[in-house]
Every structure is written in C-alpha cells, then in structure tokens.
Amino acid sequence: MLKKYVIAIVLFLVQNVVFAQSKGIILGNLKDKNTQEIIFPGTVILEGTEYKTTTDFDGNYKLEVPVGTYNVKAIYSGYVSLIKYNIIVSSGNAQVVNFEMEVVSSQLSEVTVSNDKSKSAVATDMITPLSVQQLTTEEIKSNPGGNFDVSRVIQTLPGVGSSAGGAARNDIIIRGGAPNENVYYLDGIEIPVLNHFQTQGSSGGAQGILNVSFIEDVRLTSSAFDARYDNALASTFVIKQRDGNPERISGNVRAGFTEAVLTLEGLISKKTTFLASARKSYLDFLFGLIDLPIRPNFYDFQYKVTHKIDEKTTLTAIGLGAIDRFTFATTKSSTPENVFITRSQPYINQWNYTTGFNLKRKVKKGYMNFAISRNMFNNQLDKFVSGEKIESDRTFKLVSQEIENKFRFDINKFIDGWKITAGVSA
C-alpha cells in the first residue's frame, strides 16, 4: 500500500516538473522612441495565438506561454505597431523583449500637385532610409556562419565589405572607408576595441568580444549620422543592450567547439538589475591536439548594471574587457628550419577594457544623457632566442598603450514632429 502512495507522489511531481518546463516567460516594456516616456496601456500580443496582455503603469508587461518560437507585436493607439520576429521562449530564462515605438505621422486628406515653371524643385532628404540598417539579437544568433559574432554578421549586410583577410578577420569596410573610420557605441559609450587580437590602429580582429545575449539591437548608419555621434567618417554602429531580468536571478552556459561562455542576470535590488558574462577559449588546447605550431588563447568579460533612481532618472554602468595571448610551440614534425622561423616570431600579449557610466534623465518632450568613460588598450610583443620566455634570452620587447578618458552630454527633444539634438563632448 505504501509503495502505491510513493509511486503516485513521484508521478505527480514528475508531471508538475514536465508541465513547468513546458512554459516560458516573455517580459519587457514599451516606450516612446523619441521621448523615452512609458506607454500605458499598450497591448502586446503573440501573432497567431490567443496570448496577449497590456502594460502596467510603468510600461511593463509579462506573458507566460508554452515554449516555442513567436512573433511578438506591440500595439498602441497613435503609434506605429512593431513586430519582433522569431523570439525563442525556453523554460530556463525569461526572454526580455522591449519596444521603442514611434508616433504615427499625420495623414493628409488630399494632395494637389501643380506645376510652376518659374520655380525650381529641390529634393531634401534629412535622413536617408537606405543608409540605416538594423539587426536584432535573434537575427544575429540565427545568421548562418555568424558564430554569434556581431562583426561577422554585419559583414553580410548590403553595402558592407571585409578586408583582404576574408574570414580570418572582422574588419568592416563601409563605402570604401577604412576599418578605423567606423565608430562604435555601446549604450551611449564609445568602445574603440570590439575584437580579440585587434590590430593597433584598426578595429578588426579574429573574434568579436561582445556577448550576443546582452544585445537588444544593432543600428548601422552609413550616412546622415546623428549629431551626437561625432568623429565618424564611414559609419556609426549604435549597439543597445537589454537590462537584466527584473524578477529573479538566472543564467545559462554555452559551450562550443572553441569556447565556453557563462552568462548571469537578475535583480540586485528592487530598482537595480545586472547582466554579467565571462568567456574562455580553448583554442590553444585544440591546436595542441592536432599539433599546430600556433597557440592562440583569449578571455573576455562583460557587465551591465542598471539602477532606476526615480521615475525620470536611470543610471547605467557598463564594462567590457578582454585578454589575448598568441604564442608558438614546436611541433613533432618540426624541422630545424621550422623551429628557427617559429622562434623568430614575436609572442603577442594584449589586454583592453572600456568602462563607463551613463545617466539618462527624462525632460519635457525628450531626454538628456550624461556619459563618462575610460578605455585602455595595451599591446605587447615579446621575442626570445630560445622561445622559452627566459628574460636573459630576450631579443625584443615592445609595449604600446592607448588610453582615453571621455565625457559626453547630449539633449534630445521631439517637438511637433521635429527632432532636435545638441550636445558637447570632450
């Protein structure tokens, strides 16, 4: 009799666990794109299903749905409806999907076209739609051959080229401009180093640093740059990160053929959330197994902390860093000539970081940003006669450092259909 009760309890628990694992959560918020004001009561629906909900007084929403892939649509009267496609919902971590909506343009009831030969026609295009391209995190993750690398996915966009190194490097060439003529912004903070094993004076490298799980969207502009993004000659890349899960601490581990990544997110307090990740490659171990003379290895770290000071003010802290090592080893089949050539090559030791704070304050019909940041890139080359890294055998050493401290302020107003931006940077 006792055995039957035990079996019944076990089956009941297993059924509950299976049911719980078949459900996932989609949550996020709706905001006005131009003023950053919350949208209430906006409606969020899953296309092709009966699931829908409305935002609360803070512009937030939450849906508990079966695991699967959905198209999430945001609707609010007077605003252009938005759809985010192929949102994957799993039972492990909540899927954060935010929307920034634009006001519907005024519609004319009637337009009359007339010809006046005494006047000349002048075409004015303040913003060229064809010069702006945008990628979501799902598009980056699902891109064939992208390998969860933002730079590689961007190289597949129309009008974007790569360097002569092909797949070996992440150099981005826009309209014939050099790779170092692109400017990258992460949540309003300029990041000069975006790749591992980056060539000094360029922006490309062998592998991207950014964790795709952090990214909400990437916006590429190849002309008509926004006034607040200075020093751009070829293009600007504005990378927006999402906030951490505001309900609970969660995480995931992704292990691939060449690297492993740990990502954690959650709430620190009622008004503070965080995202953090660390990645380590094991290319040196794999190359050793197949007896190659090169031994590349890298680490990278990334975090974002968001604190809501009050209803109108938000403080964000971000950080991004990497450590790169490139050494050589003697293989089993190495000839004396091969050993000599290998030892004549310098070892590469690089590390870099970017850290900063961004304070966003809502004002009437707009918002202000105050950003301070510091970035540093350390590049060191070492060469030894024996190849054993013995100081007495050193024949070459080069250490180069680039350090920048930056401040930027901008104010953005949206008045009667006109967008006005002004600011200073140093």
The answer to whether residues 201 and 243 belong to one domain is yes
Residue 103 to residues 76, 252, 407, Cα–Cα distance (Å): 9, 37, 31
CA proximity to 198, closest of 175, 220, 184, 180:
180
Which residues span the domain enclosing 70? 11-103
Distant-in-sequence, close-in-space partners of 359: CB < 8 Å, separation ≥ 6: 313, 314, 315, 316, 369, 370, 371
CA proximity to 288, closest of 326, 327, 329:
329
CATH of the domain at 51: 2.60.40.1120
Q: Which of 69, 103, 137 is the last residue of a domain?
A: 103
CA proximity to 296, closest of 337, 352, 343, 347:
347
80 inside domain: yes
Alpha-carbon span 290 to 380, nearest angstrom: 27
Provide the pLDDT for residue 175.
80
Tokens matching residue 7:
């079996």
- Strands (E) across 129-243 are located at 132-136, 160-161, 173-174, 182-186, 189-190, 195-196, 207-208, 215-221, 235-241
Task: State the pTM of this model.
Answer: 0.83
113 inside domain: no
Alpha-carbon span 287 to 242, nearest angstrom: 36
The answer to whether residues 191 and 58 belong to one domain is no
Q: Are 222 and 158 in contact (CB under 8 A)?
A: no
257 inside domain: yes
The answer to whether residues 156 and 98 belong to one domain is no
Provide the pLDDT for residue 426.
87
Alpha-carbon span 401 to 200, nearest angstrom: 10
The answer to whether residues 140 and 268 belong to one domain is yes
Alpha-carbon span 140 to 144, nearest angstrom: 9
Distant-in-sequence, close-in-space partners of 297: CB < 8 Å, separation ≥ 6: 281, 282, 283, 284, 324, 325, 326
Residues written for the chain: 426
Sign of the torsion angle spanned by Cα atoms 413, 421, 215, 426: negative
Q: Output the DSSP codes for 295-364.
A: EEEEEEEEEEEEEE-SSSEEEEEEEEEEEEEEEE---TT--HHHHHHHHTSPEEEEEEEEEEEEEEEEET
The answer to whether residues 86 and 154 belong to one domain is no
108 inside domain: no
Provide the pLDDT for residue 316.
97
111 inside domain: no
The answer to whether residues 97 and 235 belong to one domain is no
CATH of the domain at 153: 2.170.130.10
| Tens-binned pLDDT, residue by residue, of the chain (426 aa) | 555 544 544 444 444 444 445 899 999 999 999 999 999 999 999 999 999 999 999 999 999 999 999 999 999 999 999 999 999 998 878 899 999 999 987 554 555 555 544 433 333 334 555 578 888 888 888 888 777 888 888 888 888 877 655 556 788 888 878 888 889 999 999 998 889 988 877 777 888 899 998 999 999 888 777 777 777 788 889 999 999 999 889 998 988 888 999 999 999 999 999 999 999 999 889 998 998 888 999 999 999 999 999 999 999 999 999 999 998 888 888 888 888 888 788 899 999 999 999 999 999 999 999 999 999 999 999 988 876 778 888 888 999 999 999 999 999 999 888 888 888 888
Provide the pLDDT for residue 38.
93
Neighbour-count burial for 190-206, b at 16+ CB within 10 Å, e otherwise: bbbbbbbbbbeeebbbb
Within 10 angstroms of residue 164's Cβ, the number of other Cβ atoms is: 7
Alpha-carbon span 83 to 144, nearest angstrom: 22
The answer to whether residues 228 and 306 belong to one domain is yes
Provide the pLDDT for residue 161.
79
Number of structural domains (the chain) is: 2
The answer to whether residues 65 and 162 belong to one domain is no
The answer to whether residues 396 and 273 belong to one domain is yes
Q: Are 282 and 270 in contact (CB under 8 A)?
A: no
CA proximity to 245, closest of 221, 227, 263, 224:
263
Residue 184 to residues 150, 231, 333, 357, 376, Cα–Cα distance (Å): 12, 11, 44, 16, 15
The answer to whether residues 278 and 218 belong to one domain is yes
